[in-house]
Amino acid sequence: MKKHKILSNAYTALVMAFLYAPIIVLMIFSFNDSKSRNTWSGFTLRWYQDLFHDEEIIQALMLTLVVAVVSAVFATLLGTAAAIGLNKMNKRLRSVFMTLNYLPMVNPDIITGVSLMLLFTYLRLKFGVTTLILAHITFSVPYVVLNVMPKLRSMDKHIYEAALDLGCSPLTAYFKVVIPEIMPGIMSGFLMALTFSMDDFVVSYFVNGSSSQTLPLVVYSQTRRRVTPKINALSTIIFIVVLGILVINNIYSARKEQQLLAGNRAKKEGH
């Protein structure tokens, strides 16, 4: 039994090493005192300082955030409403529509990208922030629908009816009863939309304008030449922030679980 444990721990460690090797390399070279990507020439923090004076990077970061927030808000509104409506729809129509909804998820990104590029060219839209936001909304909504739908399904239908019986108008009942009930689904859909938008490269690559470069697009154009260590510095910061959030969240939920366990035990002993 013990041998099993050592073996499985070693295996886990090995896969983790594979997953984290490039990330650690990236982080180490954000402290490197030269622009080389593979020769170490001493420790420095200057890339972290320079980062905040680099117009191109700061602008790209701002654009990435604006596109992510705007598209995620729109996608959440559109997707939540769609889930509520689809839930009431007859089965045939709904399944047809859900298939259409899943298409951007199962299609390769490059197909989504070029198909939207064809559409925007056809409509003679100017490639730029607008096309980026339209494209990001399009690939985000399916995930919102996917997150909200199960919450609606598992919701007790009688709560809504009870609200109506107690004198709520259908609209008030929705805002006061249904929306709070499905809020966790809406939130996770929103967060997914936000992160996918911030991280997207392939779709953005086909629908961006020359003056509207998001962060992943700037990174891509730099990988064609040489990535400045400033980008390493920025990603290190983002990575540490995300790590912090996840660790706190993890500890918090572990505490909650323990409290729940302790509560159950106390109840049992009480009986």
Residue 258, amino acid:
Q
Looking at the Cβ atoms of 5 and 271, the one nearer to other proteins is 5
Smallest separation (angstroms) from other proteins to the CB of 255: 9
Smallest separation (angstroms) from other proteins to the CB of 271: 25
Smallest separation (angstroms) from other proteins to the CB of 72: 14
Smallest separation (angstroms) from other proteins to the CB of 196: 6
The whole-angstrom separation of Cα 179 and Cα 186 is: 9
Looking at the Cβ atoms of 224 and 271, the one nearer to other proteins is 224
Report the candidate in 197, 224, 232 with the shortest Cα–Cα distance to residue 57.
232
Looking at the Cβ atoms of 196 and 271, the one nearer to other proteins is 196
Cβ-contact 131, 207 below 8 angstroms: yes
Looking at the Cβ atoms of 105 and 262, the one nearer to other proteins is 105
Smallest separation (angstroms) from other proteins to the CB of 181: 16
Looking at the Cβ atoms of 77 and 271, the one nearer to other proteins is 77
